[in-house]
Amino acid sequence: MSTASTNAGARRGMKIDLHVLGPILALVALIGIGIALNSNFLSYGNITNVLARSAFIGIIAVGMTFVITAGGLDLSVGSMAAFIAGLMILCMNLLVPSMGQSLGVILIGIAVALAAGLVAGAINGLLVTRAGIEAFIVTLGTMGIYRSLVTWLADGGTLSLDYGMRELYRPVYYDGILGVSWPIIVFAIVAILGEIVMRHTAFGRHCAAIGSNETVARYSTVAVTRVKTLTYILLGCLVGVAVVMYVPRLGSASASTGLLWELEAIAAVIIGGTVLKGGFGRVWGTVVGVLILSLIGNILNLTDMVSPYLNGAIQGVIIILAVVLQRKGSTAT
Amino acid sequence: MTRLTLTTTLAGSLLCSVALPAAAETIGVSIPAATHGWAGALNFHAEQTVERLEEQYEDLDFVLTTTPDPGTQISDLEDMVATRNIDALVVLPFESEPLTGPIQRIAESGTWVTVVDRGLSQENIEDLYVAGDNESFGRTAGDYFVETLDEGSKVVVLRGIPTSIDNERVEAFQAALDGSGIEILAMEHGNWSRDDAFTVMQDFLSRYPEIDAVWAADDDMAVGAIGAIEQAGRQDEMWVVGGAGMKEMVQRVQDGDSMVPVDVTYPPAMIATAIELTAMGLMSDGVPMSGDFIIASELITQDNADQYYFEDSPY
C-alpha cells in the first residue's frame, strides 16, 4: 500500500510537469532527432531558415491565441493573408509610375496591409459580436470571400510585385540585424508583447474570463462585446504584419498563397497548451507549437527516412502526441 | 510552332443527329478552379474562348463552371444536364476515378463529351480527348539534363501534388536519366506551389553541399526554388528547369538568364483547343471531330522563346 501511494505521488508530480513541459519536451525531442539525422541541422543557415519561415504562421498564431482563449475561432486568416498580400502588391504596382521605385511606396504598401488587416479583422469581429453569428460560420464565409477575391484580383494567375520594387523591398525578409533576419526579430517582438498582454494586462485576463464563461464575465462587468471584437481586430492586424514580412520573400501572391495557414495556426495554438474551447491561453506555448510544426517539415526534408507521401501522416501523429502528452497531465491535476 | 497530332475517326452521322437548325445549342464547360498558376491560365483561356465563340456563333450558348474538388464537379455536371439541357460537355476531370461514372452516364445519354488533359479511368467513353503529354513533358526535361550535364552530376527534383500526372512526369524524367550517370540526390513534393518549393529547396541546400541542377517540374516551383538559391548565394553553382511556360520564365529564357537556360511547355491553352473543336463539331454538320488530340511538350530555348511568350496571358 505504501509503495502504491508513493508511486501515485511520483506519477502525479511527473504529470504536472508534462502539462507545462509537454510542448517543450516535444520540441527538444525533435531537435535531438534533427541533430542525430543531419549534421547541417544546427547550422546557422538551417536555423535561420526554419525560424524565418515560422514567422508568418507564428505572428498569426499569436493573434489566434487571443481569439481562441476568448472562446472564438478564425478560419479566414490564410485567405485573408492572401487577399491582403494581393491588395498590397496591386497598390504598390499602381504607385510605382507616379512615385517611382522609392521607400515611400513601400511605406504606403505596409500601411495598406496593416489597414486592410484591421478592417478585415473588424468585419469578422463585428459579425461575430454584433450580428451574433457563430465564429465558425462567419469566418468560414469570409475565408471563401477572401480566397475568391484574391483569385479575382490576380485574374486566376499570380500577382507579382514590380521587379525594381522587389529588389528594394527584398531586404525586409532576407536581411536583419547582427545576422538575425527581420522576420525572426518581428516574430520575437510580437511573441514577447503577446505574452505580456496575455499575462499582465486586463485585456488578457478578460479574454480568459470570457472564454471560460461568457455570462459570468458579463455579470463581472467585463465588456464582453468589446473585448471579443478586439481579439479579432488584433488578429487581423497581425495577419497584416505577417503579410508585410511575406511579400518581400518571393514578391508574389496568388490563389495558393496562405493555403491552410489557418489550420496550421490553430494547430500550433492547441499544441502549445491553449484550450480550444477557450478560457486558458498560453502565448509562449503557441510559439513552441509553431516551431514544432516547422521542424517536422524541415527534418522530413533533410532526410530520406520516410516516403514523402507520408509527411502529412507524420505531422498528424506528432500533433496528436504533443497534445495527448499535456492533456494527460491536465486531467490529473 | 507547336506540333499537333490529330487522329480523327468518322463521327459525322452522330453529329448530324444532334445538330438541329435554328435551335440554340448549349455547351457545358467544367474545369478546376484557379488554385494555382496553371489552372489560373486554364480559366483565363476558357473564359476568353467562350466569349469569342459566343460572338462568333449566334446559336451557341455556354455554361462555364469552375470547381474546387471532385465532389462539386459531379454536382456541377448533374446541374448542367438537369437544368441547362447541354448538347455537349467539355470537361477537365478534377480526378479521373470519381468522375468516370458520372461522365459515362452523360455520354450514354447522347451528349457529346470532350475530355481534357486528365483521362478517364475507362476507355472509349469520350468522343474527343484533348490532352498534354505528361510523359513527353518529363522526357523532354530529362533529355536536356542528359545532354547538358556531365556524368556524375548531382540533381534534385521538386515534385508536384501527388497525382498520376506527377507520377507519369517523374517516371519519364527518371527513365531519360537512366544510365547517364547523373545522380538524383532527392525528390520531395513542392505541390506546384511557390512557397512549398521555396521551403523544400532551402532544406535541399542545407542538406547537400553540391547540387548541379534542379528539375522544378513547374514554373511556379521554379520561382520558389530560385528564391531559395539566391538567398543561399549559390546561383553560380546550379541552374533550374521548370515547366509549363509561365511568361516570366519564358522571358528569362529569352533574356539568356544563366539560371533558367530552358523551359518545357505544357500549354494551359489546350482548353481553348478543346472548346473550339467541340463547338466546331457541334455547329458544322458533317465535320468529323472524334478521336485523340495530343499536344506534345516542347523545349523552349533562347532561340525559339519568342514564339511562346504571350503578353496578355496572366500566366
Q: What is the 3-state secondary structure (H, E, C) of A172-214?
A: HHHCEECCEEHHHHHHHHHHHHHHHHHHHCHHHHHHHHHHHCH
Judge contact between A306 and A300, C-beta under 8 A: yes
Closest-CA distance of chain B to residue A159, Å: 9
Is residue A75 situated within a structural domain?
A: yes
- Of B244, B246, B31, B226, the residue nearest A157 (C-alpha): B246
Cβ separation B41–A157 shorter than 8 A:
yes
Those residues with Cβ within 8 angstroms of residue A93's Cβ, 6 or more apart along the chain or in another chain: A161, A162, A165
Those residues with Cβ within 8 angstroms of residue A260's Cβ, 6 or more apart along the chain or in another chain: A78
Judge contact between B34 and A151, C-beta under 8 A: yes
Residue B141: the pLDDT is 94
Give me the interface pTM, i.e. the ipTM.
0.78
Strand partners, B293: B6, B130
Is residue A208 situated within a structural domain?
A: yes
Interface test with chain A among B45, B166, B202, B208, by most A beta carbons within 10 Å: B202
Those residues with Cβ within 8 angstroms of residue A140's Cβ, 6 or more apart along the chain or in another chain: A75, A76
Residue B22: the pLDDT is 43
DSSP H/E element including A303: none
Q: A311-332 and A261-271 helices cross at what angle (nearest 10)?
A: 30
Cβ separation A301–B203 shorter than 8 A:
yes
Q: Which residues of B touch A297 (CB under 8 A)?
A: 199
The conformation of residue B24, written as its DSSP 8-state character, comes to P
Strand partners, B189: B159
Q: Which residues of B touch A254 (CB under 8 A)?
A: 36-37, 40, 194, 220
Is residue A50 situated within a structural domain?
A: yes
Q: Which of A155, A297, A309 sits opposite B199 (nearest CB)?
A: A297
User: pLDDT band for position B19 (50/70/90)?
Assistant: very low
Q: Which residues of B touch A252 (CB under 8 A)?
A: 194, 223
Q: How many residues does chain B have?
A: 315
Residue A19: the pLDDT is 67
Q: Is B245 helix (H, G, I), strand (E, B) or coil?
A: coil
Mean pLDDT of chain B: 86
Is residue A23 situated within a structural domain?
A: no
Rounded Cα distance between A75 and A64, Å, is 10
- Residue A324: count of CB within 10 angstroms of its CB: 12
Q: Which residues of B touch A174 (CB under 8 A)?
A: 231
Beta strands B25-32 and B183-189 are: unpaired
Q: Is 90 exceeded by the pLDDT of residue B159?
A: yes
Closest-CA distance of chain B to residue A167, Å: 12
Closest-CA distance of chain A to residue B162, Å: 7
DSSP H/E element including B305: none
Cβ separation B207–A301 shorter than 8 A:
yes
The mean per-residue pLDDT over the stretch B193-222 comes to 93
Nearest 5°: the CA angle A267, B35, A255 is 75
Rounded Cα distance between B225 and B231, Å, is 10
By the 10 Å C-beta count (0-12 exposed, 13-18 middle, 19+ buried), A258 is classed as buried
Q: Is B39 helix (H, G, I), strand (E, B) or coil?
A: helix
The mean per-residue pLDDT over the stretch B244-259 comes to 90
Edge-to-edge strands, sheet with B183-189? B183-189, B154-159, B213-215, B239-241
The mean per-residue pLDDT over the stretch B116-129 comes to 86
Cβ separation A160–B248 shorter than 8 A:
yes
Flag residues of chain A having pLDDT under 70.
1-19, 326-333
Rounded Cα distance between B147 and B262, Å, is 12
* Residue B97 Cα distances to A147, A310, B76, B272, angstroms: 27, 22, 17, 24
Cβ separation A308–B159 shorter than 8 A:
yes
Judge contact between B51 and B279, C-beta under 8 A: no
Judge contact between B113 and B248, C-beta under 8 A: no
Q: pLDDT tens digits for B260-277?
A: 999 999 988 899 999 999
Interface test with chain B among A256, A264, A309, by most B beta carbons within 10 Å: A256
Q: Is 80 exceeded by the pLDDT of residue B17?
A: no
DSSP H/E element including B57: none
Cβ separation B44–A156 shorter than 8 A:
yes
Task: Give how many domains chain A has, as a whole number.
Answer: 1
Domain that holds residue A131: 44-260
Cell 524565418 sits on residue: A52
Q: Which of B162, B198, B206 sits opposite A309 (nearest CB)?
A: B162
Cβ separation B34–A250 shorter than 8 A:
no
Is residue A286 situated within a structural domain?
A: no
Q: Which residues of A touch B188 (CB under 8 A)?
A: 301, 308
Cβ separation A158–B314 shorter than 8 A:
yes
Rounded Cα distance between A57 and A239, Å, is 9
Closest-CA distance of chain B to residue A301, Å: 6
Assign residue B191 a region: left if phi > 0, alpha if psi is -120 to 50, beta otherwise? left
Closest-CA distance of chain B to residue A103, Å: 22
Rounded Cα distance between A230 and A70, Å, is 10
Strand partners, B244: B265
Residue of B nearest to A154 (CA): B314
Tell me the residues of B at the A interface, defined by beta carbons under 8 Å apart.
33-37, 39-44, 159, 162, 186-189, 192-195, 198-200, 202-207, 220, 223-224, 227, 231-232, 248, 313-315
Which grid cell is B164?
498520376
The conformation of residue A71, written as its DSSP 8-state character, comes to T
Residue B1: the pLDDT is 39
Those residues with Cβ within 8 angstroms of residue A262's Cβ, 6 or more apart along the chain or in another chain: A74, A75, A76, A77, A78, A79, A143
Is residue A236 situated within a structural domain?
A: yes
Q: Is 80 exceeded by the pLDDT of residue B175?
A: yes
Residue B124: the pLDDT is 84
Residue B311: the pLDDT is 75
> Which domains, and CATH codes, for chain B?
4-133+267-297 (3.40.50.2300), 134-264 (3.40.50.2300)
Residue A18: the pLDDT is 62
Is residue A27 situated within a structural domain?
A: no
Closest-CA distance of chain B to residue A61, Å: 18
Rounded Cα distance between A152 and A117, Å, is 19
Residue of A nearest to B230 (CA): A174
Cβ separation B199–A308 shorter than 8 A:
no
Is residue A316 situated within a structural domain?
A: no
Rounded Cα distance between B195 and B57, Å, is 43
Beta strands B4-9 and B290-295 are: antiparallel
